Amino acid sequence: MSSQNNMSAYQTGSVRCDEEIKESSVLDEKTFALAEATLKLLEQNELLEAQKIELAEANFKLLKLNELYEKQKFELAEANLDILEQNEIIQREREKSEKLLLNILPVRVANDLKEAGKTLPQKFEHVTVYFSDIVGFTSISSTLDPGFLIDELNDIFTNMDKIFESKQCERIKTIGDAYLAVCGMPEANEKHAENIINAAMEILSYLRVRNSKSAMNWNIRIGIHSGALVGAVVGIKKYIYDVFGDTVNIASRMESNSETMRINVSEKTYEITKDKFRFVPRDPIEVKGVGKMKMYFVET
């Protein structure tokens, strides 16, 4: 009985031992699996940290690139601003040059030079020429201060320019106290003679008013003639637009045979405008190089 009990206890202990061994074996497997999982996790963490470091380095490089980009953008903006300022300066200078060009050349001629670099001589069939000079200018000017004299001429000629411009006429040039203007060139104008006479009458009116208010009085003689002319730019370095032909010479003769503060016109100009103005006929006058010519004073 005692032996049987001992055998039974042995068997029971053996079973328990086997169970414990099995349980221990399962636990070891789980522990090993957990260790492997932990190791993999550690490896993944190391990889993640390495990737984080690489990402941080990439971000740092990106920041540096962004800084460089922003610096380049700023430099480009400054360069563009400089270019804009330079363009503005160039544009202002171009406008000054064009304005200066228009001050010495008719618009069409100036445009030809800008677009083609040249302008060809051109003949105009229907033109009226205005010519005037100041009466007694040589003797008067010799008594005046040069600066005062130039200021006076500048004031008078500037106002004459405005009058002619308002009448669609073109000042060609001044030579000392002489003033030469035309209408009908370089742009044709069917009212060329009428416009010139209207301008001449307004100039006399302007001078009368000016003389009544100024201690220094200036009086002019005016001569007008109509006919054909050739207009051309003379010179290469210094552009001068000038007119050529007998019409200019006869207009000058009309002026020299005029009287103080009067407008003397040729028969040709008279025939064109006799229905527009009142005239006083004059006896024919001998004109050098031409012969006797009929002339007319315009009543103002």
Over residues 210-268, the pLDDT tens digits come to 999 998 999 999 999 999 999 988 777 777 788 999 999 999 999 999 999 999 999 99
Q: What is the mean pLDDT of the chain?
A: 88
Q: Are 149 and 137 within 8 A, CB to CB?
A: no
**Residue ranges of the chain whose pLDDT lies below 70:** 1-24, 101, 104
Phi and psi, residue 284, nearest 5°: -55, 140
Express the helix, strand and coil content of the chain in percent, nearest 5 each.
60, 20, 20
Task: Let me know the angle formed at the C-alpha of 90 by 87 and 92, rounded to the nearest 5 degrees.
Answer: 110
Q: Which residue among 75, 104, 133 closes a domain?
A: 104
Q: Say whether both 77 and 39 belong to one domain.
A: yes
CA distance linking residue 140 with residue 67, whole number of Å: 76
Q: Is residue 3 situated within a structural domain?
A: yes
Q: Total domain count for the chain? A: 2
Q: Say whether both 294 and 240 belong to one domain.
A: yes
Q: Say whether both 150 and 264 belong to one domain.
A: yes
Q: Say whether both 55 and 86 belong to one domain.
A: yes
Q: Are 200 and 279 within 8 A, CB to CB?
A: no
Q: Is the peptide bond before 146 cis (omega within 30 degrees of 0)?
A: no
Phi and psi, residue 41, nearest 5°: -65, -40
Q: Say whether both 130 and 249 belong to one domain.
A: yes
Q: Are 297 and 201 within 8 A, CB to CB?
A: no
CA distance linking residue 278 with residue 298, whole number of Å: 6
Q: What per-residue confidence (pLDDT) applies to 46?
A: 87
Q: What per-residue confidence (pLDDT) applies to 31?
A: 81
Q: Say whether both 273 and 141 belong to one domain.
A: yes
CA distance linking residue 223 with residue 133, whole number of Å: 9
CA distance linking residue 221 with residue 263, whole number of Å: 7
Determine the straight-line distance between the first and last CA of the chain, rounded to whole angstroms: 172
Q: What per-residue confidence (pLDDT) applies to 169?
A: 96
pTM strictly above 0.85: no
Nearest to 196 by CA among 277, 121, 135: 277
Over residues 41-67, the pLDDT tens digits come to 888 888 888 889 899 898 999 999 999
Q: Say whether both 136 and 252 belong to one domain.
A: yes
Q: What is the CATH number for 293? A: 3.30.70.1230
Amino acid at 89: I
Residues 6+ apart with CB under 8 A from 105: 113, 233, 239, 241
Q: Say whether both 140 and 90 belong to one domain.
A: no
Q: Say whether both 264 and 145 belong to one domain.
A: yes
